Structure 1
Amino acid sequence: METKELKFKTTLNCGGCVSKVQSDLDNAEGICHWNVDTDNADKILTVSAKGITEDEVVNIIKHKGFKAEPIV
């Protein structure tokens, strides 16, 4: 299975927000690497995914009280 890059517009505004989702993203099966660009106006979450879907990533973020929408 090849790794694909998923990008999401999020409401993760700062390091504190990012730290709230960190352990869930770190421990999610199918995520190889992830990063949030909090300097970008859209707070872009980039995920290197191997076997996890966009919906699953969105649900991880939603579960922590934030929003994420796939960038197509």
Structure 2
Amino acid sequence: MENNNQNLKFTTNINCSGCISKVRPHLDNADGVCHWDVDTTSKEKILTVASKGITAEEIVELVKKAGFKIELLNLQN
């Protein structure tokens, strides 16, 4: 069986614990999300999602539904 677990990183405008609490139910209840975290101390407010099958596009939709801006972080130099 193919292992499609991966860490996906996004820039967002999720910048405080209040914002995190608004997005939490969307990400916690999503199929294919193992774990997620937002680095609110970084300028880009990096959201890291440990994916177990969920796509970057699906994560973008969930976060937009919660009312936040989100973009896939391009990890290539």
State TM-score, norm by structure 1.
Answer: 0.96
Q: What aligned pairs does 1:7-22 form with structure 2 within 5 A after superposition? A: 7-22=9-24
2:35 to 13, 33, 36: 33
Q: Which residue of 2 aligns with 1:24?
A: 26
| Alignment: residue pair count | 72
Q: Could you tell me which amino acid in structure 1 is paired with residue 45 of structure 2?
A: K
4+ long deviations beyond 4 Å = none
Amino acid in the other structure paired with 2:33: I
Q: Percent identity?
A: 53
SS at match of 2:37: strand
Q: Which has the larger Rg?
A: 2
Alpha-carbon RMSD: 0.7
Which residues of structure 2 form unaligned runs of 5+?
A: none
Q: Distance in 1 between matches of 2:15 and 2:39?
A: 9
The answer for unaligned runs of 5 or more in structure 1 is none
Task: Note the C-alpha offset of 1:23.
Answer: 1.1
